[in-house]
Amino acid sequence: MTIELFELGGPGIGARAADGVNGRRYSTFSWRSRMALAHKGLEYVTRPMQVSDKASIAFSGQTKVPILRDGDQVIADSFKIAEYLERTYPDRPSLFGGATGHSLARFFNSWADRQLIGTLFPSLMLENSRLLAPADAAHIRGQFERGGGKPLEEIAASKEKAIVAFGKLLDPVRSVLRGQPFVSGSGPAYADHILFSVVHWPRITTATPILAADDLVTAWCERMLDQYGGVARQEPVVQ
Amino acid sequence: MTIELFELGGPGIGARAADGVNGRRYSTFSWRSRMALAHKGLEYVTRPMQVSDKASIAFSGQTKVPILRDGDQVIADSFKIAEYLERTYPDRPSLFGGATGHSLARFFNSWADRQLIGTLFPSLMLENSRLLAPADAAHIRGQFERGGGKPLEEIAASKEKAIVAFGKLLDPVRSVLRGQPFVSGSGPAYADHILFSVVHWPRITTATPILAADDLVTAWCERMLDQYGGVARQEPVVQ
| Closest-CA residue of chain B to A175 | B110
Measured between CB atoms, which of B99, B186, B189 is closest to A185?
B99
**Average of per-residue pLDDT values in chain A:** 94
Most B CBs within 10 Å: which of A79, A80, A104, as the mutation test of the B interface?
A104
Asked whether residue A195 carries a pLDDT value surpassing 90, the answer given is yes
- Amino acid identity of A147? G
Q: Which residues of B touch A110 (CB under 8 A)?
A: 171-172, 175-176
Model confidence pLDDT, tens digit, residues A35-86: 999 999 999 999 999 888 888 888 888 888 999 999 999 999 999 999 999 9
Q: Do A183 and B103 touch (CB under 8 A)?
A: yes
Say what the pLDDT of residue B56 is: 84
Q: How far apart are CA B60 and CA B64, in angstroms?
A: 10
Task: Lay out the sheet containing B73-76: strands in order across.
Answer: B44-49, B3-8, B67-70, B73-76
Q: Do B106 and A171 touch (CB under 8 A)?
A: no
Q: How confident is the model at residue A13 (pLDDT cuts 50, 70, 90)?
A: confident
Q: Is B172 on the interface with A (CB under 8 A)?
A: yes
Q: Chain A closest CA to B159's CA: distance in Å?
A: 21
Q: What average pLDDT does range A25-37 have in this prediction?
A: 96
Kindly state the percentage of chain A with pLDDT values over 70: 100
- Torsion angles phi and psi, residue A131, rounded to 5: -90, -5
Q: Is A172 on the interface with B (CB under 8 A)?
A: yes
| Closest-CA residue of chain A to B169 | A115
Nearest residue to A153 (alpha-carbon basis) of A175, A115, A122, A174? A122
Q: Which residues of B touch A96 (CB under 8 A)?
A: 100
Query: What is the number of CB-based contacts under 8 A between chain A and chain B?
Result: 115
Q: What average pLDDT does range A157-185 have in this prediction?
A: 98
Q: Chain A closest CA to B55's CA: distance in Å?
A: 31
CA neighbours within 13 Å on the CB side: how many for B118?
12
Q: How far are the Cα atoms of A19, A160, A161, B191, B203 from residue A156, in angstroms, in the given order?
A: 29, 9, 10, 36, 41
Q: How far apart are CA B25 and CA B201, in angstroms?
A: 10
Q: What average pLDDT does range A168-188 have in this prediction?
A: 98
What is the 8-class DSSP label of residue A11? -
Q: What is the CA radius of gyration of chain A?
A: 17
Q: How far apart are CA A108 and CA A69, in angstroms?
A: 25
Q: Is B239 on the interface with A (CB under 8 A)?
A: no
Q: How far apart are CA B37 and CA A229, in angstroms?
A: 44
Could you tell me which residues come within 8 angstroms of residue A67 by beta carbon, excluding any fewer than 6 positions away? A5, A6, A57, A60, A74, A75, A76
Q: Which residues of B touch A107 (CB under 8 A)?
A: 104, 108, 172-173, 175-176, 183, 191
Q: Chain B closest CA to A192's CA: distance in Å?
A: 10
Q: How far are the Cα atoms of A117, A191, A227 from residue A41, in angstroms, in the given order?
A: 28, 17, 11
Neighbours of B201 (CB within 10 A): 21
* ipTM of the modeled complex: 0.95
Nearest residue to B38 (alpha-carbon basis) of B239, B238, B226? B226
Can you give the pTM of this predicted structure?
0.96
Say what the pLDDT of residue B17 is: 81
Q: How far are the Cα atoms of A79, B123, B169, B174, B175 from residue A111, in angstroms, in the given order?
A: 13, 24, 9, 10, 9
Asked whether residue A95 carries a pLDDT value surpassing 80, the answer given is yes
Q: What average pLDDT does range B150-176 have in this prediction?
A: 97
Say what the pLDDT of residue B229 is: 96
- The answer to whether residues A117 and A28 touch, using CB atoms and an 8 Å cutoff, is yes
Q: How far apart are CA B211 and CA B64, in angstroms?
A: 29
Q: Do B107 and A172 touch (CB under 8 A)?
A: yes
Q: Where are the alpha helices (DSSP H) in A40-133?
A: 78-88, 99-111, 118-120, 125-130
Neighbours of A229 (CB within 10 A): 9
Q: What average pLDDT does range B146-172 have in this prediction?
A: 96
Asked whether residue B20 carries a pLDDT value surpassing 80, the answer given is no
- Torsion angles phi and psi, residue A217, rounded to 5: -70, -30
| Closest-CA residue of chain B to A102 | B101
| Closest-CA residue of chain A to B94 | A100
Q: Is B92 on the interface with A (CB under 8 A)?
A: no
Measured between CB atoms, which of A102, A105, A110 is closest to B175?
A110
Nearest residue to A23 (alpha-carbon basis) of A131, A141, A121, A127? A131
Q: Is B116 on the interface with A (CB under 8 A)?
A: no
| Closest-CA residue of chain A to B97 | A100
Q: How far apart are CA B99 and CA B105, in angstroms?
A: 10
Q: What average pLDDT does range B125-152 have in this prediction?
A: 92
Q: Is A171 on the interface with B (CB under 8 A)?
A: yes
What torsion do the CA atoms of B33, B35, B40, B41 make, to the nearest 10 degrees?
120
Q: How far apart are CA B127 and CA B116, in angstroms?
A: 18
**Dihedral (CA of B126, B129, B134, B140) sign:** negative
Model confidence pLDDT, tens digit, residues A133-144: 899 999 999 999
Most A CBs within 10 Å: which of B103, B178, B182, B192, as the mutation test of the A interface?
B103
Q: Is B114 on the interface with A (CB under 8 A)?
A: yes
Burial grade of B59 (CB within 10 A; 0-12, 13-18, 19 or more): exposed
Say what the pLDDT of residue B230 is: 96
Asked whether residue B84 carries a pLDDT value surpassing 80, the answer given is yes
Asked whether residue B162 carries a pLDDT value surpassing 80, the answer given is yes
Q: Chain A closest CA to B197's CA: distance in Å?
A: 17
Measured between CB atoms, which of A97, A110, A186 is closest to B172?
A110
Q: How confident is the model at residue B15 (pLDDT cuts 50, 70, 90)?
A: confident
Q: Do B111 and A172 touch (CB under 8 A)?
A: yes
